[in-house]
Amino acid sequence: MQTGFIGLGAMGAHMARNLKRAGFLAGVTNRTAQKAQALALEIDTIAYANPAELAAKVDAIILCVSADADVLSVIDAIMPAARPGLLVIDCSTVSADTARRAEAQLRPLGAAFLDCPVSGGVEGARDAALAIMCGGSAEAFARAKPILDAIGRAVTHMGPTGFGQSTKATNQIMCAGIIQAVAEAMAFAQAEQLPLDKVIETLGKGAGSSWYFVNRAPFMAKDHFPAGFRVRLHDKDLKICRQMAARHGVTLSVIETTLAHYAQLIEGGFGDDDISTIFRLKTALFDPKS
């Protein structure tokens, strides 16, 4: 299955490298062309000028771009090459409605679409260890599975189009609650003047541990939050979750509190930090003068 990759950001560049290692990658393209050219040189693949040129040369396209409007604009850009047999796999985190729109746009031309958002962070993308949740037909999923196995460790067909994104929204709500808890606990530990490295080592093996505690509490201990999962992106995801919850007539406190915190962080110029930067707000609680 010859595969092309669109969107060579923090996640996409690693995913493209892993597809190349597994022998699936036939080419890449990116809005900022220099990134595609640099990666093509690094991994010996072809950089195409635009999505349609790439899509015309491959059996499957994977895209991993930012938000709903970006996915829809990439789908528009692929349309000239949409044809029976083309499989389009979207690994971006967007709404289930956007997945359904993309599928409906491609279907009349015979092209299949799968929503396949991923979880596992930049590290998971680098290590081909992503959890991948897929929505779409069983037939499209069966075709996509070998490609997705090259970038992920747990690849699951959740149900029809949109079900991948609904599963991802579930995950994003959970991440909000966990990063809140880890940041509050670490700010408390710091106020108690505990040795934070020992706290991380010991509690990392305890019942309250989590991926975020093990991987992001060290950022908090160093007060340094290099972009892994940007505040801006989780903010975007939680707004999708808020809309989806509102359809059930529900407001969820984890979503609302975290969005209020992210608004403050973005305003303060921390929107491109990793979400563990929320620790800043929690330490300020213990030091009201700061």
Give the residues lining the site for ligand NAP (CB under 6 A).
7-12, 30-32, 35, 64-66, 70, 73-74, 92-93, 118-119, 121-122, 228-229, 233, 237
Report d(CA 52, CA 80) in Å as an integer.
6
CB of 207 to ligand NAP, least distance (A): 26
Asked whether the beta carbons of 140 and 113 are under 8 A apart, the reply is: yes
Catalytic annotation, pick one of 20, 35, 168, 282:
168
Asked whether the beta carbons of 131 and 120 are under 8 A apart, the reply is: yes
By beta-carbon proximity to ligand NAP, the closer residue of 11 and 140 is: 11
Half-sphere exposure (Cβ direction) of 112: Cα atoms closer than 13 Å: 19
By beta-carbon proximity to ligand NAP, the closer residue of 103 and 115 is: 115
By beta-carbon proximity to ligand NAP, the closer residue of 136 and 164 is: 164
Active site residue 145: no
Give 47's DSSP letter: B
CB of 229 to ligand NAP, least distance (A): 3
Give 269's DSSP letter: T
Report d(CA 167, CA 266) in Å as an integer.
26
Query: Hey, which bits of 64-139 come out as E strands?
Result: 87-90, 112-115, 118-119, 130-135
Residues taking part in catalysis:
168
